[in-house]
């Protein structure tokens, strides 16, 4: 298992990929997508066509991977089991979001913005790990129990461990939050 959390600086030059390959990465988080593909290409020695295939499957050479982007950050996790990650930068939102998720937030230590981002992040991580296509499926995730405890994977620290039921399966989610961002990692 390997985790990468890195700041990605915008770059003008992308000599390792063709213009055609780079064109399909255009849009939000372009630089993070390029960096993720550079890491995948270097790790697995892949052609651009093979990169397109493994990105669709989130699997390559007996290794699963999941990625998330927020602002200028890239979070990338490699594992031998199906996984999901989510990274969210904290920013001001409408207070109505706290009201909308009030019941779920009560289970996560209260109605605060920090807990809202923890909730959002673990739901997206589970959805990615379960290959769901719809964020609305997050409403089907049921809280089982939580505890605040220190956990470490590689160099990343986690402050919360949560257990949830989703589609009849138990999931463990590792969460971290600081003043700027939150991230969640999950696997069955």
| Tens place of pLDDT per residue across the chain (188 aa) | 788 999 998 876 666 899 999 999 999 999 999 999 999 999 999 999 999 999 999 999 999 999 999 999 999 999 999 999 999 999 888 999 889 988 888 877 788 898 899 888 988 898 888 876 555 555 555 555 555 555 555 566 777 777 777 777 777 888 888 899 999 998 87
pLDDT at 137: 52
pLDDT at 75: 95
Give the separation between CA 100 and CA 96, rounded to whole angstroms: 6
Domains within the chain, CATH numbers bracketed? 2-79 (no CATH), 83-187 (3.90.470)
pLDDT at 64: 95
Whether the CB-CB separation of 119 and 108 falls below 8 Å is answered with yes
pLDDT at 52: 95
Task: Give the pTM.
Answer: 0.85
pLDDT at 105: 83
pLDDT at 170: 78
Q: What is the CA radius of gyration of the chain?
A: 17
Give the separation between CA 59 and CA 82, rounded to whole angstroms: 9
Give the separation between CA 188 and CA 129, rounded to whole angstroms: 8
Give the separation between CA 144 and CA 166, rounded to whole angstroms: 10
């Amino acid at each position: 298992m390997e985790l990468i959390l890195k700041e990605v600086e915008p770059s003008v030059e992308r000599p390792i990929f063709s213009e055609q390959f780079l064109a399909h990465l255009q849009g939000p988080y372009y630089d993070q997508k390029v960096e993720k593909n550079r890491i995948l290409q270097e790790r697995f020695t892949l052609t651009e066509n093979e990169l397109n295939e493994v990105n669709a499957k989130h699997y390559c050479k007996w290794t699963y991977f999941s990625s998330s982007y927020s602002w200028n950050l890239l979070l990338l996790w490699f594992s031998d089991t199906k996984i999901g990650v989510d990274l969210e930068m904290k920013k001001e939102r409408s207070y109505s979001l706290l009201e909308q998720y009030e019941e779920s937030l009560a289970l996560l230590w209260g109605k605060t913005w920090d807990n809202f981002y923890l909730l959002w992040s673990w739901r997206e991580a589970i959805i990615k790990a379960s290959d769901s296509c719809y964020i609305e499926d997050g409403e089907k995730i049921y809280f089982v129990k939580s505890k605040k405890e220190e956990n470490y994977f590689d160099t990343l620290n986690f402050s919360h461990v949560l257990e949830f039921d989703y589609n009849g399966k138990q999931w463990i989610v590792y969460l971290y939050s600081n003043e700027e961002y939150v991230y969640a990692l999950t696997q069955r």
